[in-house]
Amino acid sequence: MGINDKNNNAYGKDPDYGAIFMSNSETKRECFKRGLFGLPSSDIQFVEQIKTGMILFLFEYEKRQLHGVFKASCDGAINIVPNAFAKVGKQFPAQVRIQ
């Protein structure tokens, strides 16, 4: 099997699409603590396109590190966990749970 074969991962096929969320080191800790990725309300149309089972990554821009692979454990929505990022002074109501 070659590196580009469609049957080269644990699920038996390459995923059709995924998404990358952005964070800094502070919001990254919140994401991992809650099992939740979030974006500002201006990105709700993007987040609502995320469906259960979709692969996700988290890019920590301060350290330029990509974390993943994560899997969406629900569809993206508004305020799955209201005020989830309030302790870090952020408002990210466009959210998706991860595993």
* Each residue's pLDDT tens digit, 28-72: 999 999 999 999 989 999 999 999 999 999 999 999 999 989 999
Assess whether pLDDT exceeds 60 at residue 9.
no
Cα separation of 60 and 21, whole Å?
9
Cα separation of 78 and 94, whole Å?
5
Assess whether pLDDT exceeds 60 at residue 8.
no
For a pLDDT cut of 90, what percent of the chain falls above it?
A: 66
**Per-chain mean pLDDT for the chain:** 85
For residue 88, name the pLDDT band (cuts at 50, 70, 90): confident
How far is it between the farthest Cα atoms of the chain?
48
> Most confidently modeled of 6-10, 12-16, 20-24?
20-24
